[in-house]
């Protein structure tokens, strides 16, 4: 075999897996179609370190987020990656939302997030005097991270362990051999093929396409693209809050609502929204006409805002396993041995809380039986 382990995709998930597996195994090879790492979902998000409060009990999203939260803070401290454990307030605006808030609080406890504190409206306003709410939960373990710094460190760790990276390299064919796999890659105007014992599909928005190339695709692997836009808050209004502020979540967790996040420079942005992209067209432009909708959503709990404070910022696309109206779907992290494809590992639908869970996902993959021989 030309390589031992080939990882397709150098987003935060592929990078974390490369860093982890290269600690133990030689000849780890990472393919990325873009010119550098993290050019899609990994760099177009809120950069939030989530606590793991929303997701159904025993789901991968719940368990990997709770574990990954601690792992990520430890990793950032060890490697001097810029981050801040600023905490978040989830706010309710009326009695109906207070009932949802209580459900979230109970779910957080079931999921093992034990630091949440229920607050009355008065108590919440002592923490954040410029917001409006009738009740809230404070989660101290939520924070923010420099996602680029995180990915750069993961890439560096993998390279120190002798992993090899090939950028501008798009996978166009995968063939099962008697032993291992043949992978064909397009690079500029040329193609080449090589072999690998193990293939890990961590291609983000392209994971269902890679599954189709490999013959491991099934209907439940179909991805649906959801675009999330953000609006930055200016005119000094970013100084009006010190924590992340979230509304209560949407049904089936298709999105977490238009929330207010802070970056490491105390810049503030609102978002993301969740727009279903039926045609899967990747377009990162932000529709300025959405500003009024963002303002109307956020001013309910951020009454200090004026619409003129908002300006279009960035957009990202989430690789979800849900289309509109679908129930909750969990991460797919699967060795396809049952399909006579041993050593082909699919990671599909790795959206939020994927950034928080990157290290725990890598740990889970490293414990698959193929790596314990």
Q: 120 and 244 share a domain?
A: yes
pLDDT at 224: 98
**Number of domain units in the chain:** 2
Domain that includes residue 254, residue range: 88-140+224-320
Asked whether residue 54 is domain-assigned, the answer is: no
Asked whether residue 17 is domain-assigned, the answer is: yes
CATH number of the structural domain spanning residue 190: 3.50.50.60
Concatenate the DSSP letters of all residues of 275-341 into one string: EEETT--------GGGHHHHHHHHTTT-TT--GGGEEEEEEEEEEES--TT------EEEEGGGGT-
Token pair for residue 291?
A: 């500003």
pLDDT at 54: 87
- 217: helix, coil or strand? coil
**pLDDT (tens digit, 9 = 90+) per residue, 334-368?**
999 999 999 999 999 999 999 999 999 999 999 99
Q: 295 and 202 share a domain?
A: no
Q: 262 and 124 share a domain?
A: yes
User: With a threshold of 0.85, does the pTM exceed it?
Assistant: yes
Q: 243 and 361 share a domain?
A: no
Low-confidence stretches of the chain (pLDDT beneath 70): 250-256, 373
Q: Give the DSSP letter of residue 248.
A: P
Token pair for residue 6?
A: 């080939």
**pLDDT (tens digit, 9 = 90+) per residue, 181-195?**
999 999 988 999 999
Q: 235 and 217 share a domain?
A: no
To the nearest 5 percent, what fractions of the chain are helix, strand and coil?
A: 35, 30, 40
Q: 135 and 152 share a domain?
A: no
- How far is Cα 222 from Cα 208, in angstroms, rounded to an integer? 6
12 in the Ramachandran plot: left (φ > 0), alpha (ψ -120 to 50) or beta?
alpha
Among 279, 296, 320, the domain-final residue is 320
Q: 153 and 163 share a domain?
A: yes
Q: 18 and 162 share a domain?
A: yes
Q: What is the CA radius of gyration of the chain?
A: 21
Asked whether residue 56 is domain-assigned, the answer is: no
Q: 229 and 310 share a domain?
A: yes
CATH number of the structural domain spanning residue 277: 3.30.9.10
pLDDT at 373: 63
Q: How far is CA 281 from the centre of its chain?
A: 20
């Amino acid at each position: 075999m030309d390589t031992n382990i080939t990882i397709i995709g150098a987003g935060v998930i592929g990078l974390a897996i490369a860093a982890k597996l290269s600690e133990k195994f030689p000849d780890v090879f990472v393919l990325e179609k873009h010119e550098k790492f993290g050019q899609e979902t990994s760099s177009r998000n809120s950069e939030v370190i989530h606590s793991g409060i929303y997701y159904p009990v025993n789901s991968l999203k719940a368990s990997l987020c709770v574990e990954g939260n601690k792992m990520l803070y430890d990793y950032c401290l060890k490697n001097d990656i810029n981050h801040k454990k600023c905490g978040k307030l989830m706010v309710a605006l009326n009695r109906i939302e207070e009932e949802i808030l209580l459900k979230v609080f109970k779910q957080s406890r079931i999921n093992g997030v034990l630091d949440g504190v229920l607050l009355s409206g008065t108590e919440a306003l002592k923490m954040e005097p410029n917001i409006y709410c009738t009740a809230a939960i404070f989660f101290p373990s939520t924070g923010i991270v420099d996602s680029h710094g995180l990915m750069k460190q993961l890439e560096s760790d993998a390279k120190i362990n002798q992993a090899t990276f090939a950028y501008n390299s798009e996978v166009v064919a995968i063939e099962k051999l008697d032993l291992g796999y043949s992978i064909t890659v397009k690079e500029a105007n040329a193609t080449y093929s090589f072999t690998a014992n193990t293939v890990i599909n961590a291609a983000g928005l392209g994971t269902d396409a890679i599954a189709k190339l490999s013959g491991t695709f099934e209907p439940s692997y179909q991805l649906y693209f959801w675009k999330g836009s953000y609006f930055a808050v200016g005119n000094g209004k970013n100084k009006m809050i010190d924590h992340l502020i979230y509304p209560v979540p949407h049904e089936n967790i298709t999105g977490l609502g238009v929330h207010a996040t802070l970056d490491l420079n105390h810049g503030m942005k609102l978002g993301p929204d969740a727009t279903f992209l039926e045609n899967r067209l990747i377009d990162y432009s932000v529709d300025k006409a959405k500003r009024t909708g963002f303002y109307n959503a956020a001013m309910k709990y951020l009454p200090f805002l004026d619409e003129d404070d908002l300006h279009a910022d960035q957009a990202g696309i989430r690789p979800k396993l849900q289309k509109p109206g679908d129930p909750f779907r969990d991460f797919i992290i699967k060795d396809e041995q049952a399909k006579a494809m041993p050593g082909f590992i699919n990671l599909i639908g790795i959206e939020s809380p994927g950034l928080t869970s990157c290290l725990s996902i890598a740990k889970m993959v490293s414990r698959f039986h193929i790596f314990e021989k």
